[in-house]
A = this chain, B = another copy of it.
Amino acid sequence: MKLLKEFDQKDPLAIGQELHRFAKELYPICRSITGDGIRRTLAMIQKRIPLRTFEVPTGTAVFDWTVPKEWNIRDAYIKDKSGKRVVDFQNCNLHVLNYSTPVRATMQLSELNPHLFTIPANPEWIPYRTSYYKEDWGFCLSHNQMLALEDGEYEVCIDSTLEDGHLTYGECYLPGRSVDEVLISCHACHPSLANDNLSGLTVATSLAQFLSGRDLRYSYRFLLIPGTIGAITWLARNRAATERIHHGLVLTCIGDNGRFHYKKSRRGNAEIDRAVIHVLTHYSESPEFLEFSPYGYDERQYCSPGFNLAVGCLMRSVWGSFPEYHTSGDNLEFIHPQQLAGSLRVCTAILDLLENNRRYRNLNPYCEPQLGRRNLYRSTGGDGIGEDSNARLWVLNLSDGEFSLLDIAERSGIPFSIISQAADLLCKSGLLAVVPDDKPGKRPSTGLANRHRARRGRS
């Protein structure tokens, strides 16, 4: 099955518009790491893909962490003396410091001030701030709004609850021929922010829709989870299952106009790293590749030393590096149908590569087979050959059972899709045979994977 080829038969504009429409539906919800916001979000995704949701009680120990109290909010505002809401949660859910404890008080501006967050450098935008693990309350507002506040008394209300409850996450598992898994992980805890991470959520949902019901080599697991604590909770509850994760991607910030960036896994040269680098190099403009670092999104947890999973992070603009990041500037106009569709295409190409990246054995390893009599070569000699013929020669030459098609694509400089077509054609001609997959569940025997297994074995 060639996923990319099939994807390319669809109308990219229609795909992009559908992705953007879905982002628009999800945008108004006030999400957090727990509570009804993420529940409603997952429920809307459940209408599209077979998503299972999980509820983990407050207080549950998850490695070094504890599932926090559940936070819910109905309303919040700052009213001036005239009773006018000068800051209003109903206008924009970013206005509340996420996870604010309830408050109802009247206070002077000077008292209120330490609870106000703004971005002086971008005075029109409301910042996004959180205080998950230290009980606090506050308001986020544009710097201009704050400057307009006159001295005097204000009525402050945060109608929230922070109580024992649950942490909620969603999981969509698509079984393939092998129990070996590809993990796609997105954080689903950010309120009205579009690129971070409605872009990831909508693309991941469409990807799961696209894969659903297909005959696949790998099993696929999509995790739509609160950032950090969600990944930690999932890993704590599924520690043994991580053995089956062979490749993984964290998707975030993939709807804006920036070129692609890929942050490599801790291993640095895992198959997923090489697959993404190959795909972005051949199918996108001027991509950039970042070495692993332990700060970032949930790859931090997947790549912690006890797990060391082959999980990288795919982005367009890098989180933290664009001014709209974590502000009200990251809104529905900051993401674009064309870019969302382009990101979905790149993800499809990556999975297509993983699905088809097999090793083959040339059944005529001594000298070249005579391609001409099989109509796999030009008949008049003396002139050059085309890329298709060249791809066949490369596949034959390197298919000694050791090199994968990705190895061959990398060494030849020919795009994987053409190498993969050449392998298919040579198989049909009886010149090539696929090397059987390793026993399902068994990791490929690379040095890194061995070390990974060994380390886990001792734990």
A→B interface (CB under 8 Å): 62-65, 97, 117, 127-134, 136, 228, 231-232, 235-236, 239, 266, 291, 293-295, 300-301, 303-308, 320, 326, 362, 364-370, 372-373, 379-385, 389-390, 393-394, 396-400, 402, 411-412, 451, 455, 459
Contact = CB atoms under 8 A, between A and B. Distances in A.
Given A294-B397, A400-B455, A412-B293, A366 B129 contact: no
Nearest to A140: B382
28 contacts: A62-B367, A63-B364, A64-B364, A64-B367, A64-B368, A64-B369, A129-B381, A130-B380, A130-B382, A133-B372, A133-B373, A134-B379, A136-B379, A136-B380, A228-B368, A231-B367, A266-B397, A295-B385, A295-B393, A300-B397, A301-B368, A305-B365, A305-B399, A320-B384, A326-B382, A365-B459, A366-B459, A402-B451
Contacts of A130: 380-382
A369 B66 CA distance: 11
Contacts of A451: 402
A100 to B, nearest CB: 11
Contacts of A385: 295
Contact of A63 (B65, B367, B393): B367
A133 B379 contact: yes
B382 A300 contact: no
A394 B64 contact: no
Given A235-B367, A294-B394, A305-B365, A134 B64 contact: no
A127 B382 contact: yes
Contacts of A383: 129, 326
A236 B235 CA distance: 57
A376 to B, nearest CB: 12
Given A305-B398, A381-B131, A382-B128, A366 B412 contact: no
Contacts of A381: 129-132
B382 A129 contact: yes
A304 B131 contact: no
A426 to B, nearest CB: 13
A372 B134 contact: yes
A136 B372 CA distance: 14
A389 B294 CA distance: 11
A371 to B, nearest CB: 9
A218 to B, nearest CB: 24
Given A291-B411, A294-B390, A305-B397, 13 more contacts: A63-B366, A65-B370, A127-B382, A133-B373, A133-B379, A235-B367, A293-B393, A294-B394, A295-B390, A303-B397, A304-B396, A305-B399, A308-B400
Residue from A134, A305, A397 whose CB has the most chain B CB atoms within 10 Å: A305
A8 to B, nearest CB: 28
A393 B396 CA distance: 46
Contacts of A372: 133-134
A366 B455 contact: no
Given A304-B397, A397-B266, A367 B459 contact: no
A222 to B, nearest CB: 20
A393 B133 contact: no
6 closest A-B pairs (Cβ-Cβ)? Answer: A306-B365, A294-B397, A306-B366, A130-B381, A294-B393, A305-B400
B380 A131 contact: yes
Contacts of A129: 380-383
